[in-house]
């Protein structure tokens, strides 16, 4: 019989409209990827009686509870106290938790506030779950054959501890189940209905299920399989998916487009310079999110002002005056100038109108030029992107990175 797992999220901000609860969906997704489904989830505010009641009632019905939030140092963080009362324990200073909090501050050369000691006041017989990212320790209580995990509400800390502590624990408890395996295919340049239509023509092995979703501006295709041979089934399915999606498949699994571009640039031993106008540094930011980007990325000129385009990229005054800063001639001159200045193998340039102001009849908001120079090749193209300033900037950056991926031309290897 499947483990009955419940999630309990705690915090007034989740109930008064101030903040959406993203932890439940993140936990559901992480557990789902390992073959577990939640049986229920609930949310209560920073009200001690409500937390106690929720813990007791849920523990009565479920095998495992994953509770998040309310472990911080301030007065409205009530989870540890409520947990102690719910399961009839005393609240005591936990030395292991305290030394963990002290270590966190010491390693960062910061002074620990006495108030942070409160975070080590935990129910007796709590097992400490290390927090690799922040100060709040998590803990695990055993009660009547139930396991109740308490994690901080900060998403980054919560997910690190879910994957570092909770999942290994569940796998151990659950013995030799074969969790559902999932493989995500990230697709750029075709819309969701077309992806779905394409997939209807692909014969997948028996036992492989498909699901679709949008992570703007990518479409995600998810294949799932269970059982001992799940990986084998997904490997078989992947052959058909790659063939059907071809060049629109930009990343698989944990891979990202930026990560793949970085990997391909490094493998090819090529260097890159960027010249960014409307993206304002976003392309450089996305590529330098990847550790080791300095291996291939030489520089980016974020040239908002025309003078900057002239100084650093040598864009001619004639181009700026006659064609304008948003033109194919300017994009190409920016890319050429960046390559000349940086002496790199490749240079990529973007210029456009992200809005909301600045559009004209000839060049409405969303007009973007992308240029790539590499070896003897030069390419420049005009796009018309829709949506908000944020979406236009993101779509420009992703399209530009996708040009690099296609230029480098390598097929993506499984994640």
Residue ranges in 155-174 that form contacts with a copy of itself under rule CB under 8 A = 156
39 belongs to the binding site for a copy of itself (CB under 8 A): yes
In the range 133-152, which residues lie near a copy of itself by CB under 8 A?
133
CB burial of 203-226 (b: ≥16 within 10 Å; e: otherwise) equals ebbeebebeeeeeebbbbbebbbb
Contact between 21 and a copy of itself by CB under 8 A: the answer reads yes
Out of 177, 212, 240, 244, the only residue in the binding site for a copy of itself (CB under 8 A) is 212
- CB of 297 vs a copy of itself, minimal distance in Å: 5
* CA 269 vs CA 55, 283, 289, 290, 407: distances in Å: 56, 20, 19, 16, 14
CA distances, 371 to each of 96, 249, 339 (Å): 57, 22, 12
Cα–Cα distance measured from residue 270 to residue 273, given in angstroms and rounded to the nearest whole number: 10
Nearer to a copy of itself, 191 or 267 (CB): 191
What DSSP letter does each residue of 60-126 carry, written as one string?
Answer: HH-SEEEEES--SSSTT--HHHHHHHHTT--EEE-HHHHHHHHHHHHHTT-PPPGGGGGGGEEETTP
Q: How far is the CB of 139 from a copy of itself (least distance, A)?
A: 20
Nearer to a copy of itself, 25 or 142 (CB): 25
Tell me if 76 contacts a copy of itself by CB under 8 A.
yes
Residue 137 near residue 54 (C-beta atoms within 8 A): no
Region 317-376 residues binding a copy of itself, contact defined as CB under 8 A: 341-343, 355-357
Site string for a copy of itself, 93-122 (x = CB under 8 A): --------------xxxx--x-xx------
Nearer to a copy of itself, 156 or 231 (CB): 156
Shortest Å, Cβ 294 to a copy of itself: 5
Does position 42 interact with a copy of itself (CB under 8 A)? The reply is yes
Out of 2, 29, 93, 239, the residue judged to bind a copy of itself by CB under 8 A: 29
Q: Are 367 and 359 in contact (CB under 8 A)?
A: yes
Q: Where are the alpha helices (DSSP H) in 211-256?
A: 230-245
User: Taking contact as CB under 8 A, which single stretch among the options 21-29, 260-268, 326-334, 373-381 is the one that binds a copy of itself?
Assistant: 21-29
The footprint of a copy of itself on residues 223-262 (CB under 8 A) is none
C-alpha 200: how far from chain center: 28
CA dihedral 226, 230, 234, 236 (to 10 degrees): -130
14 touching a copy of itself, by CB under 8 A? yes
Which listed range, 49-57, 143-151, 258-266, 315-323, lies at the site for a copy of itself (CB under 8 A)? Answer: 49-57
> What is the widest separation between alpha-carbon atoms in the chain?
80
Q: Is 49 in the site for a copy of itself (CB under 8 A)?
A: no
282-321 residues in contact with a copy of itself (CB under 8 A) are 282-285, 287-289, 291-294, 297-305, 307-308, 311-312
Q: Tell me: does residue 207 bind a copy of itself (CB under 8 A).
A: no
Determine the Cα–Cα distance for residues 13 and 33; give it in Å rounded to an integer. Answer: 28
Q: 79 phi and psi, to 5 degrees?
A: -65, -45
**Site pattern 370..409 for a copy of itself (x: CB under 8 A):** --------------x-xxxxx--x----------------
Q: Compute the distance between CA of residue 354 and CA of residue 240 in angstroms, rounded to an integer.
A: 38
Size of the residue set binding a copy of itself (CB under 8 A): 105
Candidate residues 2, 93, 211, 267; the one interacting with a copy of itself per rule CB under 8 A: 211
Task: For a copy of itself, give the closer residue by CB, 99 or 212.
Answer: 212
Which of 102, 165, 180 minimizes the C-alpha distance to 131?
Answer: 165
- CA 271-346-250 angle, 5° bins: 85
Residue 15 or 121 with smaller CB distance to a copy of itself: 15
Q: Is 178 in the site for a copy of itself (CB under 8 A)?
A: no
Q: In which residue are the tokens 């703007």 written?
A: 216
Give whole-number Cα distances, 396 to 180, 195, 330, 369, in Å: 36, 21, 16, 9
């Amino acid at each position: 019989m499947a483990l009955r797992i419940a999630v309990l999220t705690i915090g007034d901000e989740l109930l008064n409209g101030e903040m959406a609860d993203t932890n439940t969906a993140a936990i559901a997704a992480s557990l789902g990827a390992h073959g577990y489904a939640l049986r229920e989830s609930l949310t209560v505010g920073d009200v001690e009686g409500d937390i106690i009641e929720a813990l007791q009632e849920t523990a009565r019905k479920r095998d495992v509870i994953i509770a998040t939030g309310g472990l911080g140092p301030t007065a409205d963080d009530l989870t540890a106290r409520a947990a102690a009362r719910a399961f009839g324990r005393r609240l005591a200073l936990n030395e292991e938790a305290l030394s963990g909090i002290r270590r966190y501050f010491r390693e960062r050369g910061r002074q620990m506030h006495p108030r942070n000691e409160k975070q080590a006041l935990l129910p007796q017989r709590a097992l400490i779950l290390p927090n690799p990212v922040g100060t709040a320790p998590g803990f695990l209580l055993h009660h009547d054959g139930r396991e109740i995990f308490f994690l901080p509400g900060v998403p980054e800390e919560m997910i690190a501890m879910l994957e570092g502590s909770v999942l290994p624990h569940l796998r151990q408890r659950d013995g030799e189940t074969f969790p559902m395996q999932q493989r995500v295919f990230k697709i750029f340049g075709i819309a969701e209905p077309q992806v779905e239509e394409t997939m209807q023509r692909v014969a997948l092995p028996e036992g492989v299920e498909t699901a679709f979703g949008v992570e703007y501006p990518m479409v995600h295709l998810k294949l799932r399989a269970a059982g001992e041979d799940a990986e084998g089934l997904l490997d078989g399915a992947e052959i058909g998916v790659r063939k059907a999606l071809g060049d629109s498949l930009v990343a698989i699994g944990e891979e990202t487009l930026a990560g793949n571009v970085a990997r391909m640039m490094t493998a090819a031993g090529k260097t890159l310079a960027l010249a960014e106008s409307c993206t304002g540094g976003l392309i450089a930011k996305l590529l330098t999110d990847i550790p080791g980007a300095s291996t291939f990325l030489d520089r980016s000129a974020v040239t908002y002002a025309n003078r900057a385009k002239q100084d650093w990229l040598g864009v001619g005054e004639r181009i700026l005056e006659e064609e304008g800063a948003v033109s194919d001639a300017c994009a190409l001159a920016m890319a050429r100038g960046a390559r000349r200045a940086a002496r790199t193998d490749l240079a990529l340039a973007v210029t456009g109108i992200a809005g909301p102001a600045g559009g004209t009849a000839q060049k409405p908001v969303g007009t973007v030029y992308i240029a790539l120079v590499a070896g003897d090749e030069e390419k420049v193209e005009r796009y018309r992107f829709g949506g908000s300033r944020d979406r236009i900037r993101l779509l420009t950056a992703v399209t530009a990175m996708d040009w690099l991926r296609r230029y480098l031309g390598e097929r993506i290897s499984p994640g």
